[in-house]
Every structure is written in structure tokens, then in C-alpha cells.
A and B are shown apart, each in its own frame.
Chain A
Amino acid sequence: MASVGASKKNWKQHSLSSPHKYQIVSLKVNFYTPVRQKIGKLIAIQDGGVAVLIQTPVMSPEKHAAVRVIRVSKQYGQITALSDISLSVFEKAFVFVTGPSGAGKSTLIKLLYMGESFTNGAIIVDGVNLARVSRKQIPWLRRKFGVIFQDFKLIASKTVFENVALVLEVARSRPDEIKDRVYAVLETVGIAERANEYPPVLSGGEQQRVAVARAMVGRPKFILADEPTGSLDPDSAGHIFGLLQTAHRQGTTIILATHDASLIRAHCGSLVRLENGRMQMQPAADG
């Protein structure tokens, strides 16, 4: 984990001798002042804006990180959304990015798929330095990512099939290949029978399954999920999470941003929180 360790001041690294072999990296985020004050008073997670939990199946030093974020900052005018963030994500890892609202989880996800540019630092995805990617290369780079959002972001005027097929259309796949792959992935997420319906008539859980199908259909190297279960009932959330695990098992690197600690506890067994500036281990999922 040589790649994680650039800045002592802003992040901490811990190896746990647990059977889970988690690599836990906690990042300190500088909130912009008003939020920092508010959170400082109200929430136990005080100066740890984002805690990142990285689960890597194989931890060998010679393996290169698929995503490296090096001392990245993002400013919106006067407001600092992310400050001096560093982290590494290894290939085929399942990474949770967590922290309270406003901590910059979504911003981090956006920076990764180049939805926005960062102010300082470097992000290296699959060996490509995002700061040096030309405008023309962006679409090609984005096809490495499947992205899932809390609000699904489906096109209401397109059918379920068309929404999912869009990913392959923009990559200019052959029509017969598009058909085969879209139906296959719709089967996987269990929504194939509603392929010709429009998203607004589907339930939230169903819409998110379509979104997951869209994220999976291009067989991307990475799936970025920004609060994917945030607006779903627990059953649907469980289903969506299960689908992400399926994708993970198939070899996709997953980066999941969520403030839902129960989701992480339920699936990772332990969670590190920063409290009063100190790391605190929480026991495995209650009961």
C-alpha cells in the first residue's frame, strides 16, 4: 500500500488483524466553515468528514491501484468541497465511502467519472491521469465507469430497454449485440419482463434495478454508486446491494458512497468512525 501514504497530516492508515482483512483508510475533509461548525457541535463524527473503508480481496504490494487519488482538492468558488484527499482503490475492490451529508462523497464520485474537474492534485484511473485527459477522450474514459445515483437518473421518455441500451449505443455496438446484452443484464437484475415500459411507471426499487442494469451492461471496470439505496425501502436496498455484490464477484471494482452506516455494518462486519479525532471501532453488525 505504498500508494496510500502521501500525506501524514490528512489521512491515517490502519491495518486490522481481523479475518476480514480490511484496509481502512480514513480521510479528513475540511468542511467549509459553516458546516464544520455545525457538524462539530451536533455530530460525533467531528473532523472526519469522509471515512473510507477499503476492502481488498488480495493485498499484494506488486498489485497496482486501479484508482489513485492523490492530494486532490475541489473548490466551488470560495467553498471547499474536498481538501487534500488521497486514497487508493485496488482492482476488484469493494470500497465504501462514507461520511455525513455535505462531506464531499458525491463530489468525490463526480471527480472520478469526470463529471467535474478537480482544483488541485491528481487522479489516476487505470493508469490514466485525469488531469491530462483531453475533452475528446472523456467519453472513452467514462465508458470504464458504470454510475448509479440516488435519484436513478433514467430517461423518462425512453423505455427500460432503451435506457439500458443507451450505454452500448454510445459505444456504437452492433444492434444484435445490444439486444442480447441488454436482455441478459435485465434478466440478471430481474426486470426483463418490464423491458418495454417507461421508468415513471416503475417503483423506486425497480427503477434502481434498471439503473444498476445500465451500470453493468457495458461491463465497465468500475461501478460508482452514489447513495444507491438512499431513497429505497430496506428490501429494495438489500436487493440493490446484492446486485452490486454480484457485479463485484464478476470482477468489477465497486466504489459505493453512502452515509448509511447500517448498510456498511451489515455487509462488512465492522466500521470505523472518527470520533473526537480518534478512530473508534464499532462491533460487527448488531447481534
Chain B
Amino acid sequence: MRNNAYLHTICVITISLAVFILSAFALFYINATELLDAWKKGVRVVAYVADGLSAQRMTAIKSRIQALDGVETVEFVSKQSAFDALKADIGEQSALLEGLEENPLPDAFEVRLAQSFVNLEAIGRLAAGIASIEGVDDVEYAQKWLSRFAGVYNLFKVTGLVLVGMFFIAIVFIVANTIRLILYSRREEIEIMWIVGADESFIKAPFYLESLLLGLAGGVAGVVFLYLAYLGTVPNFAPEILFSFYEIRFLPASIWVVIVFCSMVVGWAGCHFSIQRFLKI
């Protein structure tokens, strides 16, 4: 171990970079999943109704919406209450609205979806169903944004898995190669051990231990780099504008423990490949 500081450093840095990239993906993936879930939970479909309908028609529309599959609650939002809410929302600038002669907002129904119904196609179908009801002028939900996000997310899910696999193999090779160089640099020592009657476990154990430690060091370093990068970027990201209902979080402890553990397993595997080939005498 004494003479391999350089090799060890290179190996740890390489592993940590791979772990950094991988856990960056994990960070994105986990946040995207939770964001999407949170967004879906909050998803509402708003049905704007035509102006000047009778109370009877309103009730009829409400009950027809209520009858649709997946609808949990339907709440009437009168144009006046919508206007008040808007005023409250824009706060100091509410003076802007004072010039208006009449309330431009339509009456609306706010439709909340049953939890089991929260997926994109179902929302789309439901929205179409609501739109087809007579008296409903327009249906609004964040369809484009949501589907685009979900598209990216799904693409990522597939490519992410492929990337994870590739990085996994790459780390195994890196460690295998490093251990092979270390084995090579110590081949005389190993030969001497053989000659004096060392058994395989006596010779192999230090190398396995070494590669587990390399994996551990690389894994921890990678996660620490990622955390520093996270601290450096996320607060400047102004996420409250985009995701007022969601806060980007760092990897939970359970995940990064798993990442570090995997990094150690990979270290072990890399060592295993090299040592099996190297020690065949």
C-alpha cells in the first residue's frame, strides 16, 4: 500500500467522478419523480362556463362534471370570488384592476381529481369529457407543461438506467485496471508470498480490502462533490417561481448510503476480476 499512493489517488478521483455523475442523475431523478407526484396531486382541471347561464344550468353542469370518472370534488368559483382572489394575489398592484369597468373573469368549476386518477392520459380524457359538456366554454389544465415534463422524465428514466449500467461497468473496469496495476507493481511481493506458502486468502484479502476502501473513498468523495455542487447551484436557481409547491432536496441519506455501498461493491468486483486473472498460476 505504501508505494501506490499515486494509483490510489487516481482511482479514487475517477470513481468519485463517476459517482458524482451517477448521483447527479439520481438527484435529478428523485426530485423529478417527487415533483411530478406533487404536481399531479395538486392538479386541477378548471372548467370555465359561458357567461350568463341560469343557476339551473349551472347545477346541471356541475352534476354532469361530478358524474365523470375520476372526479373527486367539483367546486364552483364565482367570477366575483375569482376576481377577489386575483386581487389578493397581485397585492400591491391591485390598483391596476381598479380601472376595469366590469369583472372580465368567467364563472368556473374547479375540478379535483381522485388520487388514483392522476395520470396524464386520464387527465386529458377527463378534460376532453368536461369540454364536451354544453355550456362549458373552455377547459384549462397545465397540459403542455405537464406532458413535456413527463416526456423528459420518461426519456430520462430509460436513458438514465442505460447510463447507470454503463457507468457501473466503467467503474468496475477502472477499479479492475487500477488493482491490476497495483498487483503488477507488487508481483514480486506476491510471488514471494506464494513461495513461502501463503494461501490464496492471505494474498487476496489485502487487495479486496484495498478495493473496498477505494470504492468507499471514491463513493463518499463523489457524494460530497455533488453536495457541494448542490449547495452552489440550487439556491441560485430561484425554484420558488417554478415550483412554488415543491422544494428541491438533496439525496436522502438512504439513497447516498446505497450509492456509496454500490461503489464499494463495484470496487470489490473490479478487484475480483483482476485478481482472479492475475493470480492464476
Contact = CB atoms under 8 A, between A and B. Distances in A.
A136 B189 CA distance: 20
A171 B194 CA distance: 12
A145 B3 CA distance: 30
Nearest to A171: B197
A157 B2 contact: yes
A10 B3 CA distance: 49
B196 interface: yes
A218 B195 CA distance: 13
Contact of A170 (B3, B191, B197): B197
Given A157-B2, A157-B3, A170 B199 contact: yes
Contact of A155 (B188, B199, B200): B188
B188 A167 contact: no
Contact of A167 (B3, B189, B194, B196): B196
Contacts of A21: none
A91 B3 CA distance: 43
A136 B199 contact: yes
A147 interface: yes
B192 A153 contact: yes
Contacts of B188: 153, 155
Contact of A142 (B3, B197, B200): B197
A49 B215 CA distance: 53
Contacts of B194: 115, 139, 142
Given A157-B2, A157-B3, A170 B189 contact: no
Nearest to B190: A155
Interface residues of A, number: 21
B249 to A, nearest CB: 47
A193 B59 CA distance: 105
B243 interface: no
Interface string A209-220: 000001000100
A142 B195 contact: yes
Nearest to B202: A170
B193 interface: yes
A192 interface: no
B142 interface: no
B198 interface: yes
Contact of A143 (B3, B197, B200): B197
Interface string A162-206: 000011011100000000000000000000000000000000000
21 contacts: A136-B200, A139-B198, A139-B199, A140-B197, A141-B197, A142-B195, A142-B196, A145-B197, A147-B195, A153-B188, A153-B191, A153-B192, A154-B192, A155-B188, A155-B189, A157-B2, A166-B196, A170-B193, A170-B198, A170-B202, A218-B196
Given A142-B197, A143-B197, A153-B191, 10 more contacts: A113-B195, A140-B199, A154-B192, A157-B3, A157-B189, A166-B196, A166-B198, A169-B202, A170-B196, A214-B196
Nearest 9 interchain pairs by C-beta? A143-B197, A142-B197, A170-B198, A139-B199, A167-B196, A139-B197, A155-B189, A170-B202, A170-B197
